[in-house]
Structure 1
């Protein structure tokens, strides 16, 4: 049997983890202010992003148009934030972030989970790919 490598090992580079946590805190703040430009500030030009509804976006222009429409037209009364569950570094300049995103609308709570890939370029972390999934609500 072939030995399989571990790639999800959490690295102890606290500076990188802190910088990534700051990006997710900024995402939460930008959402609360319905500021799509700020929300999308850390997405790469060639982002590939799958929204909770299954729609896939290719490139910053597409995802920004979607977020601009969603944040200005549909975000009133919605509270959301990001709870990072795990950050792993399969390579020094690549991070995979696993998170939970509670969403509260009119006192009703649901959640999304996400797996996003960030890349480090010239000392800055950028969101390169993202997959969000709605969590099934059980009665």
Structure 2
């Protein structure tokens, strides 16, 4: 039997994890402010973004148009935030972030879970690939 490699355990300094946590805090603030430009600030030009409904967007312009419409037309009264469950570093310049995103609208609660890939270029972390999935909330 072949030994399987561990690809998510690369050790990096805590500064990278802190910087990534700050990006997610900024995403939460941008959503609360309905500011698509701020929300999309850290996405790469060639972002691949899969929304909760399975729609896939290729490129910053496409995802920014989507977020501009969603944040100005559908975000009123929505309270959401990001709870990072785990950040792994397969290489020093790649991070995979696993998170839960609770969403509260009036009395209705739901959540998304996400797996996002970030890349480090010239000392800055950028969001490169996004997979979001809606999950049932039982409470």
TM (normalized to structure 1)? 0.96
Specify the alignment match of 1:8 in structure 2.
8
Local SS of the residue matching 2:65: helix
> Whole-Å Cα distance in 1 between the matches of residues 137 and 15 of structure 2?
36
Question: 1:33 aligns to what?
Answer: 33
Secondary structure of the structure 2 residue equivalent to 1:57: strand
Which residue does the alignment assign to 1:119?
119
> Which range moved further: 108-117 or 6-15?
6-15
Tell me, which stretches of 5 or more residues in structure 2 are unaligned?
none
**Given that residues 52 and 133 in structure 1 are in contact (C-alpha distance below 8 angstroms), is that contact kept between their aligned partners in structure 2?**
yes
RMSD over aligned CA atoms reads 1.2
2:59 corresponding residue in structure 1: 59
Q: CA deviation at 1:8?
A: 1.9
DSSP 3-state at the match of 2:44: strand
Q: Distance in 2 between matches of 1:10 and 1:84?
A: 18
* Contact in 1 for aligned 2:12/2:89 (Cα 8 Å): no
1:136, distance to aligned residue in structure 2 (A): 2.1
Whether the aligned pair in 2 keeps the contact of 1:93 and 1:119 (CA below 8 Å) is yes
The answer to whether residue 103 in structure 2 is matched with residue 103 in structure 1 is yes
Give the Å deviation of 1:129.
Answer: 0.2
Please report how far the alpha carbon of residue 135 of structure 1 lies from its aligned counterpart in structure 2 after TM superposition: 0.4
Deviation of 1:137 (Å): 3.6
Q: How does 1:67-86 map to 2 (within 5 A)?
A: 67-86=67-86
Instruction: Tell me the TM-score normalized by structure 2.
Output: 0.96
How many residues were matched structurally?
139
**5+ residue gaps, structure 1:** none
Moved over 3 A (4+): none
Quickly say closer, same or farther: Cα 1:84–1:10, change in 2 above 3 A: farther
Measure how far apart 1:12 and its partner are. Answer: 4.9
